[in-house]
Structure 1
Amino acid sequence: MTVVQLKDVALARSGDKGNTVNIGLIAKDERWYQLFKEQVTSEKVKNHFKGLVEGEVTRYELPNVHAFNFVCTNALGGGGSNSLRLDNLGKCFGANLLRLEIKVPHSMFVEE
């Protein structure tokens, strides 16, 4: 097994609405999608954003496009003009999620 950051094997996009952040995580194919399904859980994402996401993290699976949608509530200190944070938007959450580490079998890096 090798430990890698998601940035090495996935794409992400994020945004916000009010005090909620939405993060899309996209795998490059079915094999990676299955690995993310096992390892990138709502609980793991919430722990990754400890101190930022104070509400629930809900994971939605989108197998037809090898992706996940994570909805993080109470994540922006009130959101918009209510927040005292320097970065009160959810745009940075996708890049931040890509720093999450997962365990990957060596065989995943072998070209078929």
Structure 2
Amino acid sequence: MQLREIAHARAGDKGNISNISVIVYDPKDFPAIEKYVTAERVKAHLSEIVKGDVERFVLSSLGALNFVMRDALAGGVTRSLAIDAHGKTLSFAILSLDIPQST
């Protein structure tokens, strides 16, 4: 299944850094995203866009993961020639990540 089936995302950007939080709808699904939505998988999933490091922060009390992605916005909002390759677009892209069906 795709991550969007059990979670939603919020995004922000500053300069050339994108910050995305993935938040489960139901707390019972948090162990699945904690296990399968790793910094390595997010970096691989967004490899054509995110050129720098990806750090993951676990916010278990909120049922959320926060990802800080460096060199992810083609130089930043004011420098990029992209129409909208910024935070919101990346948050939608991260939600297409495939994860195993919860049991």
TM-score (norm 1): 0.85
Deviations 1:50-107 (A, max 9, x none): 11000001000001011010000000110022112222421211111111110024x3
Shift in Å, 1:10: 0.7
1:67 counterpart residue number: 64
Taking the aligned partners of 2:67 and 2:83, their CA distance within structure 1 comes to 23
Separation (CA, whole Å) in 2 of partners of 1:7 and 1:14: 14
Within 2, Cα distance between the matches of 1:61 and 1:93?
Answer: 19
- What's the RMSD between the two structures over aligned residues? 1.2
Q: CA deviation at 1:18?
A: 0.6
Question: Does residue 17 of structure 2 align to residue 57 of structure 1?
Answer: no
| 2:17 is equivalent to residue 17 of structure 1 | no
Aligned partner of 1:44 among 28, 41, 51 = 41
Aligned residues: 103
C-alpha distance in 2 between matches for 1:70 and 1:23: 5
* Residue 39 (structure 1) shift: 0.5
Q: TM-score, normalised by structure 2?
A: 0.92
Structure 1: 5+ residue stretches without partners: 108-112
Aligned-pair identity in percent equals: 40
Q: Which residue of 1 aligns with 2:24?
A: 27
Amino acid at match of 1:14: A
SS of equivalent residue, structure 2 residue 41:
helix
Bigger Rg, structure 1 or 2 = 1
